[in-house]
Amino acid sequence: MLAVHPVGAVIATAIVAAISSTMYRMLNAPSNRAEQIAQHADRQAKEIAGDVLVVFSADIHSEVLMALAARMAKGRQAQLVALYVIEVPYTLPIDAELPQQEREALQVLTAAEEIGRKAGLEIQTRTTRDRQTGPAVIQAAREESANLIVMGTYRESRYAGAPMGQAIEYVLSQTHTDVLIGVSSSMEGDSMLSLGPLPLRKK
Amino acid sequence: MKAAPVAELRRAVTTWGSYSWGYADVGADIYVALGVVVGIAAGAANVAFAFAGIVYVCIGLAYTELAAAYPVAGGGQFFVMRALGDFIGFVAGWAVLLDFTIDIALFAWFTIGYISFLFPWLVTHQLTYFICVLATTAFLTVLNGVGVKQSSRLNELVSVLDVVTETIILVSAFLLVWNPQVLLHTMQTHWPTTENLLKGVSLAIISFVGLESISHAAEETRRPTTVIPRTSVALILTILIFALSYSNLVLGMSPIHLSNGTTVPMFQYVGSTDNNDKAIAVLASQIPGVLGVLFAFYVPMVGALLVLISSNSGVFGASRIAYSMAKFNVLPSWFQRTNAKTRTPLGTIICFSGISVIELVAAYLQGTQAIGFLTDLYAFGAALSYTLVFAALMTLRFTDSVAPRRFKMPWNIPLTVAGRKGDLSLLSVVGMIGIVAILVFTLLTHPIGRIAGPTWVILGIVFYAIYRRKHGMPILRSLKRDWVKLHEHTLTGAGEIEMLDEYRAGVAAERAAANKP
C-alpha cells in the first residue's frame, strides 16, 4: 500500500506551481512599441472587416480588392456586399432598358460571387441605378450599415477635374465610413490591383 | 552616391526558441551531474547542489544582464574581452572552448550511458561502449561538418517533452516514494568528509553549465533585450528547481533491495559507477506501478536524446566561439574559414571534435575514473570562465555605464572608481566569491583538473602569444576598436531602436562632460 507523505504532497504541488508560473511569466513578455502598433493595427483591421461594401461600376473595377476583402473577412463574422452601380444618363428615364449595362453588371457580380466562394464566403450582391455612382454608393452604404467601403481601380474615360475620379472624390467627401481605395499604378493593366487581361485558356 | 549599408535584421529566434536553445544545453546537465554528485557528496548532495545553485543564480543573473545589454554571439568571451581586453578575453574564450570540447565528449558518453539502460550488455562490454561513444562524436562531427543544422523545432520539441517529463517524474516520486524522515536519516548517517563535500560542490556546478547558449543565440533573438532576461530567468529557475528537487528526492527515497539480497541506500545505488551515467533513468524506474515501468522505457530515450542534443551544442558552440574570437583577432583567421563545398567551418569543427576525441581517449584510459576525469575538466573550465564573466560585469558597470541595461543584477551600491561613476551589485560580489571558492575547491580536490585544466590554459596562452607576435599584434595589450560604433551596429541589428537612442544620448552626454574645461 502506497502512502503519500504530506510533506511530499506539498513539495510536489510546489514543483508544479513553480514550473507553471515560471513558464507563464516567460511566455507573457510585455510587448514593445513595434508589437503594440502591430497588435493595434490587427485589432483595427478585424473591426473594419465587419460589413464591407465593395463597389463596381462601368468605371470602377474592384475584382482584386474584392478578393483581398474576402481574405480579410474570412474566419470573421463579416458580411460582404458587392454593389454594381449602373449610371443612367440624364437623357433617359431612370428605369430605361439598358440591356448591355445590365448584362455587364450580371457578369461582374457573378464573378464577385465566385471570388467570395473561392474564399469560402457567401456574399450578397445588388445592382442599383442612379444618375451618378457617388450618391448611389453613399445610399447603399447607409442601407447596409457598412463599416468599410471598398472601391477598386478607377478608369475614367475622360478627365473631369477630379484626380481620383468623380465617384471616389464624391464618396470621400460625403461619407463618414472608412474607404479603402485601390489606386492602380498604371492604366495598362499590369498593376497588381488591376485585373488585367485574363490568361488564355489552354486548348 | 552609394547608400550606406543597412544593418541586417536576423531575429528568427522566439521566446520559446531562446529558452529551448539554452535548455537543450543546460537542461541535459542534471542527467549528467546527479549520479556523479550523489556518488561523491553522498548525504550532503542536496547541500552541494544548493551551494552551487546559489552561485549559479548569481552567474545566471550576470549573464542575463550582459546578454541583454550586449546581444552578440560571442557570449562570455565577448563580455570579458570588452571589459578586460584581448588577453583576458582570450583566456575566457579558451576556457569556454575547453568546456565545449568536454561538452562534446562528456555528453556523447552519457548518450550511450542512457542507451545502455535499455541495452544492459553495453555496460559489460566496455570497449564496445567506448566505440559507441566515439561513433556518436564522429556522427555529430559529420552532421555539423556537412551542414545539417540542428533544427530549432527539434530543440523546442525536446525541451517541452523534457520539462513535462521531469516534472511528472518529480511530482510522482515525491508523492509516491519520498519520505522526509528517510532524507534526514540519510543526511545524518551518510554525511561526507569535508574533502568530498567540497568536491561535490565543485562538481555540482556542472549541472548549471551552458547558460552561454542563450547568449550565443542573442544575436538572432527577437527583441533580445526584453526576451533574454525572461528566458534566462526562466531557465535559471527551471534548472534550479530540478537540481534541488532531484538531490533531495534521491536522498529521501527508500533503500533498494538488490537481487543478491543486499540493501543499499538509493543515493548509493544511483551514484555507483554502474549507474551514475544513467542516474535519472535509474531513479525514475524505481517509481512503483505502471509509471515506473513506463519511465524505464521512456526516460532513457528522452535522456539520450537530450544529452545527444547537448553534445551537438558543444560541436557548434565551439565553432561559433572560435569564429567570434577569430573575428576579433584573438584566434587566427583560419577559424573563420568555411569550406567551399559544405559552407561550414569544417576545419574548426574537425579541430575541436578532434580535441574531444583526445579527451575521450584520455578518459577511457582512466578506467572507472573516466567520468571523473571529464567532469573535473568541465568544472574547471566553467569555474574559470564564470569567474572572468563576473569580473567583466563589475568592470563594465564603470567603463561602459552608458550602455543601456534593460536588466540589472539587484542590490546595487553607487560608487566612483578612478573617476568613473558606476554601481556595484552586491549579488555579483556574492557570486564572485562563490565561483572563486568553487575554482579553488576544483584545484584543491580534483587531482586531474588541477593539472590538466591549467595545462590547457597555458598551452592556449602560448598559442595565442605565437599567433599575435607572428602578426605583429600586441600580446598583453588590446587592439584598438571602436566599441561605440560596434554597439550601435549591434543594437541596430537587434531592432532595439529605443535602446539605440538611449545609448547615443548617453555617449553624447559622456563626451560633452569629458570635453568640459
pLDDT tens readout for residues B381-412: 999 999 999 999 999 999 999 999 988 999 99
- Pairing of the two strands A178-181 and A124-130: unpaired
Domain-located, residue B3: no
Q: How confident is the model at residue B418 (pLDDT cuts 50, 70, 90)?
A: confident
CA atoms within 13 A on the CB side of B399: 15
What is the domain extent for residue B424? 15-508
CB of B399 less than 8 A from some CB of A: no
Domain-located, residue B266: yes
pLDDT, mean over chain B? 89
- Residues B383 and B215: their CA atoms lie apart, in Å, by 17
The pLDDT tens digits for A16-38 are 999 999 999 888 877 777 677 87
Q: What is the mean pLDDT of residues B204-223?
A: 79
Q: Which three cell numbers stand for residue B78?
A: 565577448
- Residues A180 and B184: their CA atoms lie apart, in Å, by 74
Q: How confident is the model at residue B8 (pLDDT cuts 50, 70, 90)?
A: very low
Q: Which helix (H) or strand (E) holds B230?
A: helix B224-251
**Contacts across the A-B interface (CB distance below 8 Å):** 67
Q: At CA B386, angle to CA B385 and CA B390, rounded to 5? A: 120
Which residue type sits at A58? Answer: A
Q: What is the mean pLDDT of residues B439-461?
A: 89
Domain-located, residue B5: no
| pLDDT given for residue B223 in this prediction | 78
- Residues A52 and A81: their CA atoms lie apart, in Å, by 6
Which residue(s) pair with A51 in the sheet?
Answer: A79
Which residue type sits at A133? Answer: T
The helix/strand/coil state of A191 is coil
Q: Do A27 and B15 touch (CB under 8 A)?
A: yes
| pLDDT given for residue B221 in this prediction | 77
Return the sign of the alpha-carbon dihedral for residues B429, B317, B74, B9.
negative
Q: Does pLDDT of A43 surpass 90?
A: no
| pLDDT given for residue B244 in this prediction | 95
| pLDDT given for residue B47 in this prediction | 96
Q: Does pLDDT of A47 surpass 70?
A: no
N- to C-terminal Cα distance for chain B? Answer: 39
- Least confident range from A96-110, A137-151, B10-24: namely B10-24
Fold classification of A44-181 (topology level)? Rossmann fold (3.40.50)
Q: Do B163 and A19 touch (CB under 8 A)?
A: yes
CB of A201 less than 8 A from some CB of B: no
Q: How far is A193 from chain B (nearest CA, A)?
A: 30
Nearest CA to B315 among B43, B93, B25, B85?
A: B25
Most A CBs within 10 A among B64, B156, B178, hence the mutation to make, goes to: B178
Four-CA torsion B137, B139, B145, B147, nearest 10 degrees: -130
Q: Does pLDDT of B178 surpass 80?
A: yes
Q: What is the mean pLDDT of residues B150-171?
A: 86
Distances (CA, A) of B346 to B73, B338, B371: 19, 6, 28
Q: What is the mean pLDDT of residues B46-60?
A: 93
Domain residue extents for chain A: 44-181
The pLDDT tens digits for A167-188 are 888 898 998 888 888 876 655 5
- Least confident range from A118-122, A134-138, B53-57, B63-67: namely A118-122
Start-end of H helices in B278-345:
279-285, 290-327
Q: Cβ distance B247 to B46 under 8 Å?
A: yes
Q: Does pLDDT of B6 surpass 50?
A: no
Q: Do A5 and B179 touch (CB under 8 A)?
A: yes
| pLDDT given for residue B1 in this prediction | 39
- Residues B20 and B235: their CA atoms lie apart, in Å, by 9
Distances (CA, A) of A93 to A59, A89, A136, B336: 21, 8, 16, 82
Distances (CA, A) of A183 to A152, A165, A178, B116, B308: 7, 11, 16, 68, 56
Residue in chain B lying closest to A12 (CA): B171
Which residue type sits at A114? Answer: E
Percent of chain B with pLDDT over 70: 96
Q: Do B167 and A19 touch (CB under 8 A)?
A: yes
| pLDDT given for residue A185 in this prediction | 61
The pLDDT tens digits for B230-266 are 898 999 999 999 999 999 999 999 898 888 888 899 9
Residue in chain B lying closest to A21 (CA): B234
Start-end of H helices in B119-151:
121-124, 126-145
Nearest by CB to residue B241, choosing from A9, A19, A29, is: A19
Q: Do B179 and A32 touch (CB under 8 A)?
A: no
Q: Which three cell numbers stand for residue A157?
A: 474615360
| pLDDT given for residue A187 in this prediction | 54
| pLDDT given for residue A163 in this prediction | 58
Interface of B with A in 167-196 (CB under 8 A): 167, 170-172, 174-176, 178-180
The pLDDT tens digits for B296-335 are 999 999 999 999 988 888 887 888 889 889 999 999 999 9
Q: Cβ distance B241 to A19 under 8 Å?
A: yes
pLDDT, mean over chain A? 81
State the burial class of residue A90 (Cβ atoms within 10 Å of its Cβ: 0-12, 13-18, 19+): exposed
The CATH number linked to B375 is: 1.20.1740.10
Percent of chain A with pLDDT over 70: 78
- Residues A77 and A50: their CA atoms lie apart, in Å, by 7
CB of A1 less than 8 A from some CB of B: no
- Residues B168 and B284: their CA atoms lie apart, in Å, by 10
Sequence-ordered strand ranges (E) for chain A: 51-57, 60-61, 79-87, 124-130, 148-151, 153-154, 178-181
Domain-located, residue B10: no
Q: What phi and psi, each to the nearest 5 degrees, are found at residue A161?
A: 85, 0
| pLDDT given for residue B55 in this prediction | 92
Q: What is the mean pLDDT of residues B424-429?
A: 94
- Residues B187 and A135: their CA atoms lie apart, in Å, by 89
- Pairing of the two strands A60-61 and A178-181: unpaired
Domain-located, residue B517: no
- Residues B314 and B247: their CA atoms lie apart, in Å, by 26
Nearest CA to B265 among B275, B254, B278?
A: B254
Domain-located, residue B196: yes
The pLDDT tens digits for B480-491 are 999 999 999 888
Q: At CA B506, angle to CA B500 and CA B511, rounded to 5? A: 125
| pLDDT given for residue B341 in this prediction | 81
> Going by C-beta distance under 8 Å and a sequence separation of 6 or more, which residues neighbour residue B87?
B464, B475, B476, B477, B478
What's the domain count of chain B?
1
Q: Do A32 and B170 touch (CB under 8 A)?
A: no
* Set of chain A residues whose Cβ sits within 8 Å of the Cβ of B234: 22-23, 25-26
Q: Cβ distance B226 to B405 under 8 Å?
A: no
Percent of chain A with pLDDT over 90: 20
Q: Which helix (H) or strand (E) holds A166?
A: helix A166-174
The pLDDT tens digits for A60-77 are 888 888 888 888 777 776
| pLDDT given for residue B85 in this prediction | 95
